[in-house]
Structure 1
Amino acid sequence: MNIERLQELKAQQMIKAVNFIEAGHSPLVIEIEYVDQGQCLRALLTDDEGVVISYNHLKEGYDVCLKAGIRKANLVQIETDDEVCQSAYARYHRESIPLVF
């Protein structure tokens, strides 16, 4: 999902949550949870070529969200040991820190 699509979803009020995901000491990525045709979907924020964008600081993520009109997100930190132990999909959304900016 590119930034233009993110702005469209925000304008249509289809965004359920924005998650800043940080795994270990890796840069963070932005995951968007949104509703499309009655289904809840998830997508990572990408550039126009479809490459996932990573950020080194929360401030960079804030700037992207503010540009799209989004003023809150969740910080999701995944421990690297947890990643290895997960079987299919990590249910990390239950352990998130709400952010308002």
Structure 2
Amino acid sequence: MDIRREFLKFFESKKHKIYPSSPLVPKDPTLLFINAGMVPFKKIFTGEIEATHSRAVSCQTCIRAGGKHNDLENVGYTARHHTFFEMLGNFSFGDYFKEEAIEFAWDFVTN
């Protein structure tokens, strides 16, 4: 099973627009690299721009090499800490909140 493809397909069936992964080097002077799936949507979350869709889903390539989510001391010692990874994310821009997000997640992993 290709988890990426199934995740995107599942959320597309729930009326989410699929967005491709953004470049690892963002057009954002506050970040050296894309370090989370929400970064490409930062201007929507901060209210700088309006969303063109109320729901989005993506598989974003990310690099974490320090900062708030610094896992560098664990890289190589655990099976789950990496500097480069793909983050799956589903996003709502004023359309739904935690309760429906939890229902979507539960439906995805159990069905």
Higher radius of gyration, 1 or 2: 2
Which category describes the TM-score, using the shorter chain as reference length?
A: under 0.3
TM-score (structure 2 length as normaliser): 0.26
More strand by share: 1
TM-score (structure 1 length as normaliser): 0.27
